[in-house]
Amino acid sequence: QSVLTQPPSVSGAPGQRVTISCTGSSSNIGAGYDVHWYQQLPGTAPKLLIYGNNNRPSGVPDRFSGSKSGTSASLAITGLQAEDEADYYCQSFDSSLSGSRVFGGGTKLTVL
Amino acid sequence: QVTLRESGPALVKPTQTLTLTCTFSGFSLSTSGMCVSWIRQPPGKALEWLARIDWDDDKYYSTSLKTRLTISKDTSKNQVVLTMTNMDPVDTATYYCARMGFYGDALDYWGQGTLVTVSS
**What does pLDDT average to over chain A?**
95
Taking CB atoms and an 8 Å limit, are A103 and B48 in contact across chains? yes
The predicted structure's pLDDT at residue A98? 67
B5 and B15 in contact (C-beta within 8 Å)?
Answer: no
Alpha-carbon separation of residue A81 from A2, A10, A60, A67, B89 (angstroms): 28, 14, 14, 21, 38
Per CB distance under 8 Å, which residues of B are interface residues toward A?
37, 39, 46-49, 52, 60-63, 66, 96, 103-113
Chain B residues in contact with A104 (beta carbon < 8 A): 46
Partner residues linked to B108 by β-bridges: none
Q: In 3D, which of B18, B13, B24 has the Cα closest to residue B82?
A: B18
Per CB-CB distance under 8 Å, the chain B contacts of A48 are 103, 106-109
With beta carbons under 8 A apart, name residues in chain B contacting A36: 103, 105-107
What pLDDT band is residue A37 in, cutting at 50, 70 and 90? very high
DSSP one-letter code for B16: P
Q: Write the pLDDT tens digit of every residue in B94-117.
A: 999 999 989 988 999 999 999 999
